[in-house]
Amino acid sequence: MKTGILSEITKLRELINRHDRLYYLSGEPEISDREYDALFEKLRKLEDENPELITPDSPTRRVGGEPLKEFRSVRHGAPMLSLDNTYSAEDIEKWAIRVMRKVSVSQGFTVEEKIDGVGVSLTYREGGLYRAATRGNGIEGDDITANIRTQRCIPLTLRGKNLPGTVEIRGEIFITLKEFERINGLRREAGDKPFSNPRNTCAGTLKLLDPSEVAKRRMSAFFYTSGVWEGEGRPRTQSELLELLSSWGLPVNMSYRVCSGADEVLNACEELRQARETRPYETDGAVIKINSLWEQEELGETSRSPRWAVAYKFEAKSAETRVEDVIFGVGRTGVITPTARLEPVEVGGVVISSATLHNFEQVERLGVGTGDRVLVERGGDVIPKILKVVEKSPDSGVITPPSQCPSCGGRVRKDPEGVYYRCDNLSCPALAIQKIIHFASPGAMDIEGLGENVAEQLYRKGLVKSIADLYALDIPDLMNLELFARKRAGNLIGSIDKSRGASLDSLIYALGIPGVGKHTAKILAERFGSLPALMEAGADELESVSEVGPVMAESLRSFFENPENREIIRRLASRGLDPVYRPGDESLKGMRFVFTGSLGSLTRKEAASLVEGLGGSASSTVSRDTDYLVAGEGGGSKLERARSYGIRVISEDEFLGMISEKKEK
Ligand code: IVH
């Protein structure tokens, strides 16, 4: 009689475990929640009637016992390390090149999604879940076994033969976006404040002392690595490990890729970045690992992180914060720009505390005021900007253009065309300071050591009223500035001197003529050959230059007609700044180069600037217009692509030979 019941109970347990796997591992449930609940109730009833047949790994035992008073601290068998972060393709390449110098990377790399969840370590003994722990400080964590057991995505027993005696399995627990919405929906109905994001909700849930509360939330998990491994059967590679964990019934993220070189790794990272938008959970990057576990051991780890893996963090696209205040600045052309001072917030690994509001039309469009909660975005190197208002403050302060210039107190006027408000005062100090900063900036005269702070001091101390005064400075003058000792003063004088050799196009750009960027400056330099020639050019002559329209021509004319500007240019010339246009070596003009693999003696950046210096262009992707692919060691997919397009592939040596030949001509 009992044997019949035992076999029924066993069958029910297996069935429930199978449906758990279908639901959590393959995401393809075969039965409805109601049917699942019915199976569960049937099992519970049989166990209630036959308590001697209850085993700890029965699905009904996921929740049980009293709430805990506190979590016990437990020591991990092997430390739980964290990962070094990188933020650019270049850093990944550098990392790959570094590890390839130390090990042969015989099994390639794996690229996995970096799940934005909470790290856990599960210990299985003889196939049964023995303990679950949080990461804690990496050496010791909290024992959260009771909470973890409530989660149906975590198998209480592993499936399969030849299971290791004791094994630590590490991975990430997370909450899907859908479950996060469900939990917050319930909280709103109950009048509770919604949680801010899935990750914090997950971390908070794991720290609840009452497992029956934890059981009410549905968490998910992906496992990706192991700690202690006692017994046979340890795989040889990371990809085999993932397959093995999956075969044991653990949830594993199958979107990983095995890649053979840096190019493939970067492609896989890009693929995962794009997939990010469509995932039902949050990822915050990719994790790149050496596939061979033996090579991982060879490389070892620092006290904090392994040398065999690195995280490639995706830019956090945006973050929420509060506008504390608005300050007004004056640009080089007198335009008043509003900047929001923000409560500091981390966006993509960088703390930001201000964001540009561009102009007052933008302020109006956003409907933003001081005190409001806003969404800010940081993309690449650009200044952070405000995307939208998330929540108006009840006493939101209206942002209006100032009537007086924040720098000189002069009158502020609205542009006839509408958008801009400008300081009317031609001798406004802010304007003068911005002109000095622009003059010294990279791409202009490139005066190292002359930034915002120094420009401001030079102006306020009366040492430099206009850019021409820079060339009359000497070391004792500079020693009057704050934080300037003789050495720093000498360095700055040195960089100012060096800038006397700047090219004509750099000087034209550095003058800060409204509307004249680097590109136009170059065209003007080519066409007119010297500053005096450009200054005397009439409107027609200017307009005959391709890319110079009537507005630009007018801007140039009014700049050069202004007596103050003419005086500045005269003084610059008298101090030796009167360059003439020197046509450059254009022997690679129109030729397109792509570099792949690791070049021995050059970085890709250096190689690209060599090409650009000779009038050619360098790109990172092979297309049908590419003329040459320069292949270093380990070039992968680009090489195949170039071959399939019939593009000439040359070695680094051939490339260098080609360049020096051209240079000699
Ligand atoms: S491997 C010793 N793989 O990111 C290396 N970690 O910032 C162990 N994470 O502590 C980590 N997804 O909690 C690895 N596919 C993945 C991951 C991942 C998320 C977490 C993990 C780690 C943290 C490091």
The CATH number assigned to the domain holding 382 equals 2.40.50.140
Distances (CA, A) of 311 to 102, 199, 270, 288, 578: 19, 18, 13, 6, 51
Minimum-distance ligand 1 atom for the alpha carbon of 83: 24
Closest C-alpha to ligand 1, atom 18: 114
pLDDT band at 476 (very low <50, low <70, confident <90, very high): very high
Same domain as 295, residue 242: yes
What pLDDT shows up at residue 367?
94
What pLDDT shows up at residue 348?
59
Closest C-alpha to ligand 1, atom 23: 82
Q: Is residue 421 part of a domain?
A: no
> Strand runs (DSSP E) across 209-364, as ranges?
220-230, 257-259, 283-290, 309-313, 318-330, 336-347, 350-356
- State mean pLDDT over 288-305: 93
Same domain as 86, residue 33: no
Same domain as 249, residue 108: yes
pLDDT band at 583 (very low <50, low <70, confident <90, very high): confident
- CA distance linking residue 492 with residue 484, whole number of Å: 10
The whole domain housing 614 covers: 592-664
Same domain as 492, residue 400: no
Query: Could you tell me the distance, in angstroms and rounded to a whole number, from the CA of residue 71 to the centre of ligand 1?
Result: 23
Which of 87, 120, 168, 172 best tests ligand 1's pocket when mutated (most atoms within 8 Å of CB)? 172
Annotate 98-146 with DSSP letters as a single string. Answer: HHHHHS--TT-EEEEEEE-SEEEEEEEETTEEEEEEE-TTSSEEEB-HH
Q: Is residue 396 part of a domain?
A: yes
| CATH number for the domain that contains residue 643 | 3.40.50.10190
Annotate 321-351 with DSSP letters as a single string. Answer: EEEEEEEEEE-TTSBEEEEEEEEEEEETTEE
Annotate 371-430 with DSSP letters as a single string. Answer: T-EEEEE--TTSPPEEEEEEE--TTPBP----SB-TTT--BEEE-TTSS-EEE--TT-HH
Indicate the range of 255-259, 579-583, 586-590 predicted with least confidence.
586-590
Distances (CA, A) of 360 to 262, 401, 429, 625: 46, 7, 22, 44
Q: Which residue has the higher pLDDT, 78 or 88?
A: 78
Q: Which residue has the higher pLDDT, 428 or 223?
A: 223
What pLDDT shows up at residue 417?
64
Q: Is the CB of 141 inside a 6 Å radius of any atom of ligand 1? A: no
Same domain as 36, residue 17: yes
Count structural domains, the chain.
Answer: 5
Query: Could you tell me the distance, in angstroms and rounded to a whole number, from the CA of residue 170 to the centre of ligand 1?
Result: 9
What pLDDT shows up at residue 662?
61
Which of 80, 115, 220, 255 best tests ligand 1's pocket when mutated (most atoms within 8 Å of CB)? 115
pLDDT band at 665 (very low <50, low <70, confident <90, very high): very low
- State mean pLDDT over 637-663: 83
Closest C-alpha to ligand 1, atom 21: 119
pLDDT band at 333 (very low <50, low <70, confident <90, very high): confident
What pLDDT shows up at residue 514?
83
Taking only Cα atoms into account, the Rg of the chain, rounded to an integer number of angstroms, comes to 33
Query: Could you tell me the distance, in angstroms and rounded to a whole number, from the CA of residue 614 to the centre of ligand 1?
Result: 45
Residue among 114, 289, 385, 435 flagged as catalytic: 114
Q: Is the CB of 114 inside a 6 Å radius of any atom of ligand 1? A: yes
Distant-in-sequence, close-in-space partners of 46: CB < 8 Å, separation ≥ 6: 5, 8, 9, 12, 53
Closest C-alpha to ligand 1, atom 22: 82
- CA distance linking residue 112 with residue 594, whole number of Å: 27
Q: Which three-class secondary structure state does DSSP give residue 285?
A: strand
Q: Is residue 297 part of a domain?
A: yes
Q: Is the CB of 227 inside a 6 Å radius of any atom of ligand 1? A: no
What pLDDT shows up at residue 338?
93
638 catalytic per annotation: no
What pLDDT shows up at residue 88?
86
Q: Which residue has the higher pLDDT, 547 or 431?
A: 431
> Residue 650 is which amino acid?
I
Tokens of 544: 């005959």
Q: How does pLDDT run across 358-379, given as a tens digit for each residue?
A: 889 889 989 999 999 999 987 5
What pLDDT shows up at residue 381?
41
Number of CB atoms found within 10 A of residue 346's CB = 12
Indicate the range of 67-81, 289-303, 415-429, 474-488 predicted with least confidence.
415-429
For residue 380, pLDDT over 60 is answered with no
- CA distance linking residue 238 with residue 235, whole number of Å: 8
pLDDT band at 418 (very low <50, low <70, confident <90, very high): low
- Angle (CA) 270 271 274, round 5°: 85
What pLDDT shows up at residue 187?
85
Minimum-distance ligand 1 atom for the alpha carbon of 311: 7
| CATH number for the domain that contains residue 505 | 1.10.150.20
Place of tokens 């039309």: 361
pLDDT band at 387 (very low <50, low <70, confident <90, very high): confident
- State mean pLDDT over 500-508: 92
Tokens of 607: 């190689």
Same domain as 122, residue 78: yes
Q: Is residue 231 part of a domain?
A: yes
Same domain as 17, residue 43: yes
What pLDDT shows up at residue 346?
83
